[in-house]
Amino acid sequence: MVITTRFELGAPVDAAWAYLLDVQKIAHCVPGASLTEVVDDKTYVGKVEVKLGPIGLSYKGRIVIENTDPASHTVRIKAEGAETRGRGGASALVTAELAASEQGTSVVMNTDLAVSGVVAQFGRTGVMQEVAQRMAQRFASCVDQELKAATAAG
């Protein structure tokens, strides 16, 4: 399933690009997520807790920045994880494109998400899309606030 999210950031595209590539700075902006290990400058280990309808799930996994293109402000990230109670897994290939806009930076994220196990049933009902959109909105709001604060601080 492909989920597309769009949002605006109130900072210039170069500042937003640098900030979004700093996984250690933005990890806490992903609702329910935390970093547990930095393997190298492109590989991270962490966990994320998410509630889908009546079910709370906890995943542990790895994030790899597969490709960055500073000229086009495009990044591709692969994430894979297993549900901690053995109830399935998830993988995502996320491509984000940044572009200058009137507000500062326009971001388009395409997430190709595959899930297995108990959570797979929620993909058919639209619950996963709703949760993903809500998480993306919270992420965007957090990053926008932090970018504005960093820009104001100089």
124 pLDDT band (50/70/90 cuts)?
A: low
pLDDT top residue among 146 and 119: 146
The pLDDT value given to residue 131: 86
Q: pLDDT tens digit string along 47-56?
A: 999 988 788 8
Structure token digits, residue 89: 């897994």
What does the angle CA 16 – CA 20 – CA 26 come to, to the nearest 5 degrees?
A: 125
| Mean pLDDT value of segment 9-24 | 94
| Mean pLDDT value of segment 115-122 | 80
pLDDT at 118 over 80: no
Amino acid at 49: E
Conformational region of residue 29, where left means phi above 0, alpha means psi within -120 to 50, and beta covers everything else:
alpha
Quick check: 63 and 46 in contact, CB under 8 A? yes
How far apart, in Å, are the Cα atoms of 71 and each of 57, 68, 74? 38, 9, 8
For the chain, the domain total comes to: 1
Q: How far is CA 24 from the centre of its chain?
A: 12
Q: What percent of the chain has pLDDT over 90?
A: 68
Q: Residue 112: helix, strand or coil by DSSP? A: strand
130 pLDDT band (50/70/90 cuts)?
A: confident
* Claim: this prediction has a pTM higher than 0.95: no
The pLDDT value given to residue 72: 97
117 pLDDT band (50/70/90 cuts)?
A: confident
The pLDDT value given to residue 132: 83
- β-strand partners of 93: 78, 112
Say if strands 55-69 and 74-83 run parallel, antiparallel, or are unpaired.
Answer: antiparallel
Q: Give the domain extent around 10.
A: 2-153
Q: What is the CATH number of the domain that holds 53?
A: 3.30.530.20
Task: Name residue, tokens 């399933």.
Answer: 1
| Mean pLDDT value of segment 46-70 | 93
Q: Residue 6: helix, strand or coil by DSSP? A: strand
The pLDDT value given to residue 80: 97
pLDDT at 154 over 80: no
